[in-house]
Structure 1
Amino acid sequence: MILAKRPEIDRFLARPDAAVRAVVIHGKDRSGVAERSEILCKAITPDLNDPFNVTLLTDSDIDGDEARLEEALTALSMIGGRRLVRVRLGSDKASVDKAVAAALKTHADDGFNPDAMLVIEAGALGRDSALRKAAESHKAAVGIACYEDEVGDVARMTREALSAEKVSLSADALDRFVSRLPRGRGLMRQEIERLILYIGPGSGRQLDVDQLEAHLGVEPDASLQDAALQAFGGKPAPAQAGLRRALAEGESAVLAVRQASIHLGKLRRINILQNAGAGAKEAAKAAGVFWKQEAEMLRQARAWRLDDLDRVLDSVNTADLATRTTGMPEALIAERLLLEISARARRLGL
């Protein structure tokens, strides 16, 4: 079966159904996959280093020796309690995918030790993955896809972490902090922990935007955000200047292209929400727009319609691939992309 909604996923991870014998947690955000797997595994057995009740295998263990997984799933606990078999897949090798899928199906059909729980961590599994199909189609198995957190989820995670340490951010400061967080869950957690240390755990302090800015500082990533904002606003010179400043400060062209993609995604979300009847300010906030940039983003969203964004998305994807796979100078690829976006924005009347 498939678990997709956050509340039902959180409930299952904290209190897994005894009838479920196998779980596949997968997604591009490997830190998010690992975090959810850790919560689930600790719900099964608190000591994940227990040599009697816990077996950890990787794809290299299984590749060429499929019996290792079957032996782990067949073994009985020597001291009682539910056994845990963890599998971490670091590659998308088809033979391993099929082998693990076959073992999962047999285990879900009660072919091995019924008291063993099989938990598999994997990268982004396509819909043609045998492992994903096996987990999602069997009533005794669960498939959980980990997607990038929505802005609301990130804000909630930040609030909860700060509250646990008796510190907080004002509403505007929280919006600003969330807009600057990296995408991976592991990196998000690190930045939140760093903020807590800056505020002072247990101090009861609340930071406003200006106080938060002192913590954030002028980072290269800020220049990249500004470059994307200027490009989609039809201002090639400031966009070019922001990019060159970020590159000079050590930022990469790959992240410059990615920032353009993030900005495009925010404009898409504003369009979609407004088409569904949301108000402009409501749509901007839901899209994760920092309040100081709200007016400019809404101005851009009025000009950039969904069809226009889809056309420029092809250019963004092409540039993203080129910066990572070709021998062309990365900086030139990113700069050319921003200039192309600026030119398109000009033609749209910005």
Structure 2
Amino acid sequence: MNLRGAQATRFFAKPDPGTAGVLIYGADAMRVALKRQDFIANYAGPEAEADMRLTRLTGAEVKSDPTAVIDALKAVGFFPGPRVVFVDGVTETQAPPILAALSDWAPGDAALVVTGGALKKTSRLRKAFEAHPKAAAVGLYDDPMGRDEIEAAVAAEGLTLSPEAARGVEALAAQLDPGDFRQTLTKLSLYANGEQVTPEAVRLMAPATIDADTDEVIAAAADGNAAAIGPLMQRLAGQGVAAVTLVIFATRHFQQLHAGAVAGGVGNLRPPVFGPRRDAMERQVRAWGAAKLEGALALLMDTDLTLRSASRAPQMAVMERALIRLAMMVRG
């Protein structure tokens, strides 16, 4: 199945228990990550990871061990309940083990969740998931959130909006990326404390822009400038930026670098990258190379897992250490 719009929103909110898998792809790693989280939480439950019913793999791991996906799908869990095998950051060169596992899927196996960047219509991954009777492919684009998505996000936070506040929330959805929008709704829920949300509350909780500082600290890691990371992280922590937001943004950047390395240069990416950012990314692709970038993505995936686990380690410190390690990787 190829799902779009309201159909995709309903699928993520209430997945079919017999789903074989879903391919979630798009240029914006934040959007992809949020939809992946929604599917896993709604399919397997919020305790899937704690109950060891969630297996995480990277595209690089799948490529190095072609049987890893099918073995994980067929494995029997220690705890009862639906299981998920999540493969992050898959490219076309890593597709064969994924396609073999999907083809061999049978009722009772885990659901296969695969995420990737912008995939062409000719993509083997897209064709396989779209053609499979029990699987779905969902492409995410940089369009403003639809009304169904906004209403679902508001309902998830248990918010009651006045008509004027509802218009303000819709305006925020058009201006913010989905991650920042959800964080804003969470703050609104805490601020409202069960009461109806007013337009003034929406204005107070609307975030100041942080994109420039976020891009700066990720660029410092990608350029090998370890000394700049500490002060930038202090500034972001003071602005209330979450470590999970940083790891998602960093993963998106390094996925773009990896795609550029595989494609033979940032100029071959679709959608294209223009301006000074393209020059910086071209320089970073040359400095890293595909092999090191795969290592960087594996490190970021491990960091993401740590941040979302029950670990008591300070989250910003965990993220800062990961960025410093990235900076040292490219220098080494």
TM-score class normalised by the smaller sequence: 0.5 to 0.7
Q: CA deviation at 1:72?
A: 0.8
Paired residues of 2:159 and 2:197 also in contact (CA < 8 A)? no
Give the equivalent residue in structure 2 for 1:49: 49
Pair 326,163 (structure 1): closer, same or farther in 2 beyond 3 Å: closer
Give the equivalent residue in structure 2 for 1:140: 134
Pair 33,68 (structure 1): closer, same or farther in 2 beyond 3 Å: same
Alignment of 1:32-71 (within 5 A): 32-46=31-45, 47-50=47-50, 52-71=52-71
CA distance in 1, matches of 2:143, 2:34: 13
Give the equivalent residue in structure 2 for 1:201: 193
1:116 pairs with 2:84: no
Q: CA deviation at 1:34?
A: 2.3
Q: Of the candidates 183, 196, 220, which is equivalent to residue 190 of structure 1?
A: 183
Q: CA deviation at 1:118?
A: 1.2
**Aligned partner of residue 64 in structure 2, secondary structure:** coil
Per-residue CA deviations over 1:288-313 (Å, capped at 9, x if unaligned) read xxxxxxxxxxxxxxxxxxxxxxxxxx
Q: CA deviation at 1:159?
A: 8.1
Paired residues of 2:54 and 2:86 also in contact (CA < 8 A)? yes
Work out the percentage of aligned pairs sharing the same amino acid.
Answer: 25
Give the equivalent residue in structure 2 for 1:103: 101
Quick check: which has more Rg, 1 or 2? 1
Paired residues of 2:85 and 2:110 also in contact (CA < 8 A)? yes
Paired residues of 2:84 and 2:112 also in contact (CA < 8 A)? yes
CA distance in 1, matches of 2:51, 2:202: 45
CA distance in 2, matches of 1:158, 1:123: 25
Give the equivalent residue in structure 2 for 1:344: none
Q: CA deviation at 1:131?
A: 1.2
Alignment of 1:1-350 (within 5 A): 1-6=1-6, 8-46=7-45, 47-50=47-50, 52-89=52-89, 92=91, 94-107=92-105, 110=106, 114-150=108-144, 152-153=146-147, 156-157=150-151, 160=154, 164-168=158-162, 170=164, 173-174=168-169, 176-179=171-174, 181-182=175-176, 184-195=177-188, 200-207=192-199, 321-326=274-279
Q: CA deviation at 1:68?
A: 1.2
CA distance in 2, matches of 1:38, 1:318: 24
Q: Which amino acid aligns with 2:119?
A: L
Q: CA deviation at 1:132?
A: 1.2
Pair 157,30 (structure 1): closer, same or farther in 2 beyond 3 Å: farther
Pair 76,126 (structure 1): closer, same or farther in 2 beyond 3 Å: same
Paired residues of 2:158 and 2:189 also in contact (CA < 8 A)? no
Q: Which has the higher contact order (CA 8 A, sep 6+)?
A: 2
**Aligned partner of residue 48 in structure 2, secondary structure:** coil
Structure 2 gap ranges (5+) = 212-269, 281-332
TM-score by length of 2: 0.54
Q: Which amino acid aligns with 1:36?
A: K
TM-score by length of 1: 0.52
Paired residues of 1:25 and 1:33 also in contact (CA < 8 A)? yes
Q: CA deviation at 1:21?
A: 1.2
Give the equivalent residue in structure 2 for 1:239: none
Count of aligned pairs between the two proteins: 220
Pair 213,33 (structure 1): closer, same or farther in 2 beyond 3 Å: closer
Q: CA deviation at 1:3?
A: 1.6
Paired residues of 1:159 and 1:168 also in contact (CA < 8 A)? no
Structure 1 gap ranges (5+) = 222-316, 328-350
CA distance in 2, matches of 1:196, 1:217: 15
Q: CA deviation at 1:134?
A: 0.6
Per-residue CA deviations over 1:165-197 (Å, capped at 9, x if unaligned) read 445461664465445x32x21122123334555
Provide the aligned C-alpha RMSD in A: 3.7
